[in-house]
């Protein structure tokens, strides 16, 4: 019996529309093959939404997300805003607003290596072979959302600014529970990353984690300072199974982890929310490649696979997408970020994956 899939499509800026088209074509092909009914609507976010509405996350876009079972998201960002420190509205504010309004408190980023691409990793093959872990980042707290002061000249004539790294027990408890539940389905190992030797907020994280860990006796738990975790990820990435951390640390560590596979164009992510969940590639808007049909669509296609699995509990559908992506990599039917000498276009790679799915 087929399901009805109701999704919001937010392509965003830069290469977002190009890679989104391929992910949408893959989604349509899977729905057709398995007899699901797909209903989707598109909306603006990021720089294109600022240009159209003066708002990076317009209310109409938010309402569409709220009415949808899942959101497929591209990327936001535009050089005209990056290069203007006085801009009142920025594309990235739309992303933060979406996270807050949808209650997207847990960002889940799988990090895995592909056997045929081990040589592309900046790390030695023997270090990255077999690396397969998940970074779980708290997404609605910390410095990004705490009380802040934009640069201002104080009474002493000195310009100053600050951001408050605020966390409450409920915020920490819910993200830790997500981490432990994921670990139970994997290799039963959680690493809690903090800076408890310096930061009060991190000491609360560690205190709460030490209270929750005994409730999961089947899961091995260890604790690591963020600087040590960053080093360990490079020295021994196979050590990790599920890594969980606060917002700022998670932002940095997940970007560091993303290059282990050899290309940022291969990694998807999911943001689990109170109302709906968002599935997006971890790469940015890559404005230099906009309109050139050269960007890697596989991360967005794999984000669609995560959507089938986590939003709709359709494991077989997600597995077929992953199999198709793996097949394209094995056949070296890839974009220039993976093989400059034998590069195919964004649309060609997308079509290859769609055809594989149709023939499977």
Catalytic residue among 51, 222, 227, 313: 227
- Do both 252 and 126 map to the same domain? yes
Catalytic residue among 69, 82, 163, 255: 255
Given 234, 256, 272, the domain boundary residue is 272
251 is catalytic: yes
CATH number (domain holding residue 89): 3.40.718.10
Catalytic residue among 101, 195, 241, 290: 195
Q: Any bridge partners for residue 192, and if so which?
A: 223, 244
The string over 44-62, giving b where at least 16 C-beta atoms fall within 10 Å of a residue's C-beta and e elsewhere, is bbbbbbbeeeebbbbeebb
Cα separation, 282 vs 264, in Å, equals 7
- Do both 143 and 232 map to the same domain? yes
- Do both 10 and 133 map to the same domain? no
- Do both 92 and 135 map to the same domain? no
Which pLDDT value is given to residue 92? 87
Catalytic residue among 69, 163, 251, 339: 251
Closest by CA to 146, choosing from 179, 125, 171, 180, is 171
Closest by CA to 343, choosing from 300, 295, 303, 298, is 295
- Do both 294 and 247 map to the same domain? no
81 is catalytic: no
195 is catalytic: yes
- Do both 193 and 160 map to the same domain? yes
pLDDT in single tens digits along all 360 residues of the chain: 789 999 999 999 999 999 999 999 999 999 999 999 999 999 999 999 999 999 999 999 999 999 999 999 999 999 888 766 667 788 888 988 998 899 999 999 999 888 888 888 889 999 999 999 999 999 999 999 899 999 999 999 999 999 999 999 999 999 999 999 999 989 999 999 999 999 999 999 999 999 999 999 999 999 999 999 999 999 999 999 999 999 999 999 998 998 898 777 888 999 998 899 999 998 889 999 999 999 999 999 999 999 999 999 999 999 999 999 999 999 999 999 999 999 999 999 999 999 999 999
- Do both 166 and 198 map to the same domain? yes
- Do both 243 and 133 map to the same domain? yes
Catalytic residue among 57, 73, 81, 144: 144
- Do both 167 and 128 map to the same domain? yes
- Do both 267 and 283 map to the same domain? no
Plot region of 293 (φ>0 → left; ψ -120 to 50 → alpha; else → beta)? left
Number of domains in the chain: 2
218 is catalytic: no
DSSP structure string for 266-326: G-EEEEE-SS-EEEEESS---GGGTTSS-S--HHHHHHHHHIIIIIS--HHHHHHHHHHHH
Given 221, 249, 272, the domain boundary residue is 272
Cα separation, 355 vs 134, in Å, equals 30
Range of the domain at 149: 106-272
227 is catalytic: yes
- Do both 239 and 158 map to the same domain? yes
Given 272, 294, 328, the domain boundary residue is 272
- Do both 20 and 130 map to the same domain? no
């Amino acid at each position: 019996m087929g399901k009805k899939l109701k999704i919001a499509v937010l392509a965003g800026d830069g290469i977002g529309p190009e890679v989104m088209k391929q992910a949408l074509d893959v989604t349509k092909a899977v729905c057709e093959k398995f007899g699901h009914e797909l209903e989707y609507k598109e909306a603006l976010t990021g720089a294109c939404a600022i240009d159209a509405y003066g708002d990076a996350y317009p209310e109409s876009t938010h309402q569409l997300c709220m009415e949808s079972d899942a959101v497929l998201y591209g990327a936001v960002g535009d050089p005209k805003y990056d290069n203007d420190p006085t801009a009142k509205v920025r594309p990235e504010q739309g992303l933060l607003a979406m996270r807050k309004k949808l209650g997207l408190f847990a960002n889940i980023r799988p990090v895995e290596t592909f056997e045929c691409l081990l040589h592309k990793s900046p790390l030695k093959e023997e270090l990255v072979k077999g690396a397969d872990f998940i970074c779980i980042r708290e997404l609605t707290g910390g410095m990004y959302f705490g009380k802040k002061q934009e640069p201002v000249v104080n009474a002493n004539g000195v310009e100053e600014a600050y951001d408050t790294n605020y966390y409450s027990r409920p915020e920490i408890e819910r993200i830790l529970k997500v981490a432990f539940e994921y670990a139970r389905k994997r290799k039963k190992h959680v690493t809690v990353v903090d800076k408890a030797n310096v930061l009060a907020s991190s000491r609360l994280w560690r205190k709460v984690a030490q209270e929750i860990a005994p409730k999961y006796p089947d899961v091995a738990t260890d604790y690591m300072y963020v600087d040590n975790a960053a080093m360990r990820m490079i020295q021994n990435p196979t050590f990790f199974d599920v890594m969980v951390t606060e917002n700022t640390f998670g932002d940095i560590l997940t970007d560091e982890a993303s290059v282990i596979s050899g290309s940022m164009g291969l990694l998807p992510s999911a943001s689990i929310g109170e109302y709906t969940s968002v599935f997006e590639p971890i790469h940015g808007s890559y404005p230099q490649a906009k309109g050139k049909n050269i960007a890697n669509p596989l991360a967005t296609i794999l984000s669609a696979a995560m959507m089938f699995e986590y939003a709709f509990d359709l494991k077989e559908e997600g597995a077929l997408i992953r199999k198709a992506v793996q097949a394209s990599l094995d056949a070296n039917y890839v974009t220039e970020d993976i093989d400059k000498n034998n590069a195919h276009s964004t649309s060609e790679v997308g079509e290859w994956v769609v055809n594989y799915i149709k023939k499977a």
